[in-house]
Chain A
Amino acid sequence: MTARNSENPDTGPHFKKVLIANRGEIALRVLEALHSLDIPSVAIYHYVDRKSPVVQMADEAVEIVGESPSGAHLDIKQIIAICEQLGVDAVHPCYGFLSENAGFARALEDKGITFIGPSPEVIELMGDKITSREFVASQKVPVPPSITLSAGDPGFMQSVIDLGFPLVVKASAGGGGKGMSIVNSKEELESTLRVASSEAEKYFGDDRVYIERYFPSARHIEVQVLGDGQQVIHLGERECSIQRRFQKIVEESPSPAFSEEQAGEKGVKQRESICQAAVAIASAAHYTSAGTVEFLYTPEGEYFFLEMNTRIQVEHPVTEMVYDVDLVKEQIRIAAGHPMSLTQEAVTPVGHAIECRLCAEDAFNGFMPATGKVLLLKSPSGEGVRFDSGLYQGQEITTAFDPMLAKLVVHAGSRADAIGRMVQALRELVLLGIDTNNEYLTRILEHSAFASGEFDTAFVERYADDLVTRHPDKGLLDALLIAGMLSDRNIQRLEEATPQPYDAIGYWRN
């Protein structure tokens, strides 16, 4: 099977055996790519995940242990020992966990095992937000105005005032929306710096923080890049402004910010400019494998570098659907020393794709994480519908892992059609036994501000009053009550026990 945009068919050896160092939907996604390349696979899993699909379907599966399920997935020594025992010659880290851990990449390299991703040096460069900023600035790509002085330096306070409020304090080793605090005034600054620093130490093992101008009303636009050592190409942008708690919940490609309606003729130029900036950064870093460069895009049409993620991203499917490519397969090819199967001229976007992240939470009540069990799961299907999930019936959903359960991705010829397709798919998805943000996502997709494409990262807050649950009308209410009662096993048992003739004489009334 050759993707529409690839020039060369998949030939040549890749790896003897690849270990998937992750879990859930992304582990299953990577397994699919390995299957399609006929590469033997190894899944690692914590006891709580023993029944998950990736464990059932991988060629081999090994249990990992740790103080917590997440802890087990971060145990470098244990994972490498498993690789050595099983003759694994490559590891795919997916996203999260050890995917951006340069120490892990190096430790694998030392054992002659390939880390499917960029080099440890590039991971370190881009993983440190201060050094990555400096590197990008040296490439003449705009970065947000910031302060590089320390709190104790003279002139610090003046720098802060010159920068202007609101500000954001960011952890240097943070990322993915974590380790950020907004500061609205001089009075808040001192305590915020202190708290941010100690939290950074606690969560990222690095207490360094820096201060940037905060843009309360901007768009988050990122560019997918791919490098193989010979060339670096881009696969367009993704719009990721729909966020809650700095975490993305709806993503799409292409971004409506560059559409003709919003940007007129300039739109095409803006898109080209931001994509080329991403390629310039990745090229200068000699980037190999898949990566994403994230930008802030202001209403005035300016963009600033935010960070670079040196891994496959959660929202990669929207790019895959628009460009008809398999990014994970490309990662594996490139890691095995093959050139990518794409060229910049040949990759052409078609249509529009949207992704919704299904999360275990009570979205209408402060997004409180929810726990429960997957009692029934029926995934939506059909043309242009993709459901990336590692869910299985009977699965216990606990707070052990990230609340994201699955990704629902749709593709259609136009943005309007994609929105319609997504709303239908969200309604078709049946997931019983755990609170999810399904209805909340539907509210977002149905909102006029989403439909118009004119929104920014403040969307969720700005329209909070509109993003509320809907109460059933009387007809639906009766239907719910009756369906519920007739589904009640206690009622069903009594019905079965009641002889027929008595049905008609009001036997039930007390």
Chain B
Amino acid sequence: MQPKYRLADRQYVVSPLRRTPNRIIEISDSQSRNRRVSADIRWFDHVHGELSINGVVRQFYAVQDDQTIHLHMDGKVWQLEAVDAFSDAAGVSGQAQSGQVKAPMPGVVLEITVREGDLVEEGQVLMLIESMKLQMEVKAGRAGVVQSLGVESAGASFDKGAVLANIQSAERQEPANREAVS
């Protein structure tokens, strides 16, 4: 079990390694930089706590709403999104190799930001979808051309496994496309 959270567009794994005699937590980010942190926590009530890390004490307030943990710390508010197994493991970005971008679960299209025939870069946002109250960006797993879109427009709903988009890699194009381009 590796709790994953997204904070301001970056994802982190925050694993509790040990609880007693003191807490050790391992944090790793998307660049696989790991660090182990020794922390102490004291709760005043169910929303108000005090965290002590390397002698630095910070009070905080925290409230959870579904997948979001709202925090108040150091004079401002922050939002941590718990990244659950579904949206990560199935990985909308995990189908990098096949060129087919499939929906990990049923949902609805919020916005389509590309058109068929568009040249896209790896990681470029193709559309915005909403799935189980979570908004997600659907990104191109690799650079290429948007060969086809599996959904028509904003508001269209789709099932789990539906092909949302088909990206043909720039190096290997269908003969038909090559004709159209030249």
Contact = CB atoms under 8 A, between A and B. Distances in A.
Given A483-B60, A485-B25, A503-B20, 17 more contacts: A373-B65, A375-B70, A430-B77, A432-B61, A476-B58, A476-B73, A478-B37, A479-B56, A481-B12, A482-B39, A483-B41, A484-B5, A486-B49, A490-B82, A503-B18, A503-B19, A506-B17
A341 interface: no
Interface size class of A (residues with CB under 8 A): 35 or more
Interface string B20-53: 1000010100000001010101000001010101
A416 B17 CA distance: 47
B98 interface: no
Contacts of A430: 61, 72, 77
A367 B19 CA distance: 43
B18 A506 contact: yes
B1 interface: yes
B123 interface: no
Contacts of B47: 376
13 contacts: A373-B65, A376-B72, A427-B76, A431-B77, A432-B62, A432-B63, A432-B72, A433-B63, A438-B76, A439-B76, A481-B5, A485-B14, A485-B16
| Nearest 10 Cβ contacts at the A-B interface | A427-B75, A487-B62, A484-B80, A432-B70, A503-B19, A375-B63, A485-B14, A430-B72, A484-B69, A376-B63
Given A378-B61, A500-B20, A503-B18, A483 B77 contact: no
Contacts of A426: 75
B3 interface: yes
A350 B84 CA distance: 56
A428 B77 CA distance: 11
A503 B51 CA distance: 20
Contacts of B114: none
A487 B64 contact: yes
B37 A509 contact: no
Contacts of A490: 3, 82
B74 interface: yes
A504 B27 CA distance: 18
Interface string A447-487: 00000000000000000000000011001111111111111
A318 B19 CA distance: 50
Contacts of B27: 478, 481-482
A202 interface: no
A508 B64 contact: no
B17 to A, nearest CB: 6
Contacts of A433: 63, 65, 70
A110 interface: no
B70 A491 contact: no
A41 interface: no
A460 to B, nearest CB: 19
Interface band, chain B: 35 or more
Interface of A: 373, 375-376, 378, 426-428, 430-433, 436, 438-439, 442, 471-472, 475-491, 494-495, 500, 503-504, 506, 508-510
The listed residue with most B CB atoms (<10 A of its CB), out of A433, A482, A506, is A482
Contacts of A442: 75-76
B62 A508 contact: no
Contacts of A491: 3, 16
A376 to B, nearest CB: 5
Contacts of B75: 426-428, 442
A439 B76 CA distance: 6
Given A376-B63, A487-B69, A494 B1 contact: yes
Contacts of B77: 430-432, 436, 438-439
Contact of B2 (A428, A438, A479, A510): A510
Nearest to A376: B63
A488 B64 contact: yes
Given A487-B62, A487-B69, A475 B16 contact: no
A479 B51 contact: yes
Contacts of B148: none
A162 to B, nearest CB: 48
B89 interface: no
